[in-house]
Amino acid sequence: MKERLQKLISGAGIASRRAAEELIAAGRVTVNGERARLGMSADPELDRVEVDGEALRLPQSRRCIMLNKPRGYVTTLSDERGRRTVAELVAGAGRRLYPVGRLDLNSEGLLIMTDDGEAANALMHPAHEVEKTYVVTVRGAVTARQCAAMEALRAVDGRPIRPPRLRVLGSDGEKTRLRFVIHEGRNREVRRICASVGLEVLRLVRTAEGELRLGSLPPGAWRELTPEEIEYIRRLKEEIR
C-alpha cells in the first residue's frame, strides 16, 4: 500500500515527519533511483526508497522505552566532545533508539526513547500541547511575589511562552522545591523562567510527560512502556493522521 514518503521515513525511525520533508527537499531521498519530490508516495513492498543512499527498512515492530536520565549525560546518540550519552544507558535495548525531545546535561528524569518516528512526532507535536512536569530545587526561599511573576510570564528571553503552572512543594529556608508544569519544554525553559526572578536552579527533574509518569524508576535505569502508556501514545498518533 502506498504511503507518503515522510510517513515511511518517520515510521522507519530515521526522522520526524517534518524532518523527513526537509530530507526530501534537500534531495537526499530517492524512489527507485529517482530523486524524490515533496508530496510523493511509495509502496515499501514494491518500491525501493533510499535515504542518503541507504535503503529504507521498516522494522517489524517498534520499541518505545522510558529512561530516567541522570545528571551528566547528554541527550544525543554520540558526542564529539566525548561526553557520556543516553545511548550508552540504553545499549541493552538491542536496537538503535532515539530520544524524544531533550534534557540538558545537568537535568534529570523522564526521557522517552524510541525507533518509532510517529510516536516521537505525536509526543512533540505542538497541536497536542503535551504537558511536561518538573520538580525543581532552587537556592533559598521563594516569595509569593516571585511565584506570581513566573506564572504571569508570557515571554522568556524575547520568545513567547505559555505561562507555567507552579506549586511550592516545600522549603527549609536554604532550598525550595517547586513543581512546574509547562507545555513546550524549549531549551532550558524552566531554568530561564527561574532566572527571570533571580532564582538559581540546583536540581531539575522531569517527572511526567502527558500521561507518562517516571514513578520510582531509578536514575540510569530504563523500562518498557506499560500497555496503558502505549495506548496513550497510540491515541496521540491517531489524532494527527
What is the C-alpha separation between 142 and 99, in angstroms, rounded? Answer: 33
Task: Identify the pLDDT of residue 60.
Answer: 58
Q: Is there a single domain that holds both residue 84 and residue 197? A: no
The reply to whether 119 and 68 lie within a common domain is: yes
Both 143 and 171 in a single domain? yes
Rounded Cα–Cα distance for residues 16 and 148 (Å): 37
Do 143 and 116 have their domain in common?
A: no
Domain that holds residue 229: 64-127+212-239
Say how many residues make up the chain.
Answer: 241
| Enclosing H/E stretch for 180 | strand 175-182
| 33 in the same domain as 19 | yes
Q: Are residues 138 and 118 part of one domain?
A: no
Q: What is the pTM of this model?
A: 0.75
Residue 98: which pLDDT band, with cuts at 50, 70 and 90? very high
pLDDT band with cut points at 50, 70 and 90 for residue 61 = low
Q: Do 145 and 180 share a domain, yes or no?
A: yes
User: Residue 79 catalytic?
Assistant: no
| Same domain membership, residue 120 and residue 15 | no
Out of 47, 79, 104, 157, the active site residue is 104
Q: Which CATH number does the domain housing residue 87 bear? A: 3.30.70.580
Residues 42 and 83 in one domain: no
Burial 72-104 (b: 16+ CB within 10 A, else e): ebbbeeeeeeeeebbbebbeebeeebbbbbbbe
- 217 and 152 share a domain? no
Q: What is the pLDDT of residues 8-48, one digit of tens each?
A: 898 787 888 888 999 999 999 999 999 999 999 998 778 89
In the chain, how many domains are there? 3
Which of 206, 202, 175 shows the shortest CA–CA distance to 112? 206
Mean pLDDT of 77-85: 94
Which residues have a Cβ under 8 Å from the Cβ of 228 and sit 6 or more positions away? 211
Residue pLDDT, tens place only, 103-162? 999 999 999 999 888 889 889 887 778 899 999 999 999 999 999 999 999 998 888 988
The verdict on 225 and 122 lying in the same domain is yes
Domain with 28 in it: what CATH number? 3.10.290.10
Alpha carbon 67 to its chain centroid, in Å, reads 11
In this structure, the answer to whether residues 205 and 142 fall within a common structural domain is yes
